[in-house]
Amino acid sequence: MSMSDAPRGTAAGGREARDTATPPVIGWQDGAVVVLDQTQLPQHVVALTLRTVDELIDAVRRLAVRGAPVLGAAGALGVALAARQAQLGGWSATFLGEQVERLRAARPTAVDLGVGVSAVLPALRQGPEAARVSALAYLARVVEASHRIGERGADFVAEACGTGPLTVQTHCNTGALACVEWGTALGVIRSLHARHLMSRVIVDETRPLLQGARLTCWELGRAGIDYRLVCDGAGPFVLAREQVDAVVVGADRIAANGDTANKIGTFGLALAARHAGIPFVVAAPETTLDGSLPDGSAIPVESRSEDEVTHAGGRRVAPDDARALNYAFDITPAGLISAIVTDRRLITSPAGPSAW
Ligand SMILES: CSC[C@@H](O)[C@@H](O)C(=O)COP(=O)(O)O
């Protein structure tokens, strides 16, 4: 992705160091994982150089690197990083295995994080170089999947909604920042735009770190796609008032029956879409399908710090004794989902993916 009109920089271990290199969303450089620090966008384009598994886990937990497919890439590259650290530090095989499992567990809901870790494990036995090559191959597959999802999703939305111009609502950030390139839900929107079918995107601001407001608006602006930002609470009303044609969202984990975990606020949009009689589409790579879980009740839902709800702008806004529930994700029942679009297929079965 092009970042030519924003400040740039690199940083090591979380420290900022400005230079003129264009940071990739995620990549490998000189024995380290390099990620674009998504907590600093859109004001600053700053890369983080992560040299240890601990630094990578910290970046994942504070959402400096985020979005399910990119978390998969982080898991894959993280195994290569662990292999390198093990060689340099003389780690035992047991300790190396423990560090890899810590990485897998850094965030619980996005199944792709563990998928990326598992993809590189066979190469780990052959040493750091083999792990690096395997991780980069995984990253290339993430990119390819993202483009396929965009095209297939655009086919479905165009078929379901007509030739436009279309107003599409989306939630969170599912673009290049979450997928290395193009995007899942935002990839569908990009592909519709490339076909001259898009009118406008309604962007929900998204908790906890305003991923929609900061990241999706930034990406849409760069792509030249018209959008309007709305606060999360306004989402369902705006869907009806602005005559939205379809809702397209991403996913962090899809159970065998099609119940889908995605960013908190998605469930409400799905209810609103059903009320309005418009398609509610989930766009995700095949890797996000977790056939080991029968339904959404088994999906682990991340709960984050209460401070993200009780504080705003760096200061406490709720009373000192206020307690918060800070679920990072919700589960949308399969019955509210019109279609699941993956890089391999279109699933419209009301019985869900278990009938695939
Ligand atoms: C293509 S990204 C799909 C999902 O990962 C996305 O919708 C989402 O919920 C991201 O949550 P985040 O907490 O920002 O990692």
Mean pLDDT of 290-318: 97
pLDDT confidence band for 164 (50 / 70 / 90)? confident
What domains can you pick out in the chain, each with its CATH number?
8-142 (1.20.120.420), 150-355 (3.40.50.10470)
Q: 81 in helix, strand or coil?
A: helix
CA atoms within 13 A on the CB side of 247: 31
In whole angstroms, give the CA distance from residue 248 to residue 272. Answer: 13
**Cβ within 8 Å of residue 5, ≥6 positions away:** none
Residue having the nearest C-alpha atom to atom 12 of ligand 1: 67
Strand partners, 98: none
pLDDT confidence band for 321 (50 / 70 / 90)? very high
For a mutational test of ligand 1's pocket, the pick from 263, 266, 286, i.e. the residue with the most ligand atoms closer than 8 A to its C-beta, is: 263
CB distance 178 to ligand 1 below 6 Å: yes
23 or 292, higher pLDDT = 292
With b meaning 16 or more CB within 10 Å and e meaning fewer, what string describes 261-296?
Answer: bbbbbbbbbbbbbbeeebbbbbbbbbbbbbeebebb
Q: Answer yes or no: is 262 a known binding residue.
A: yes
Task: For the chain, give the mean pLDDT.
Answer: 93
Q: Is 183 exposed, middle or buried (0-12, 13-18, 19+ CB in 10 A)?
A: buried
Rounded (10°) CA dihedral 207, 68, 354, 247 = 50
Q: Kindly tell me if the per-residue pLDDT of 52 is higher than 50.
A: yes
Mean pLDDT of 84-88: 97
Residue having the nearest C-alpha atom to atom 10 of ligand 1: 67
Mean pLDDT of 233-252: 97
CB distance 188 to ligand 1 below 6 Å: no
Residues known to be catalytic: 252
Pick from 17-26, 198-207, 281-290, 320-329: least confident: 17-26
Tokens of 300: 């682990």
CB distance 80 to ligand 1 below 6 Å: no
**Ligand 1 mean position to 66 CA, how many Å?**
7
CB distance 250 to ligand 1 below 6 Å: yes
Mean pLDDT of 28-37: 97
DSSP β-ladder status, 315-316 and 311-312 = antiparallel
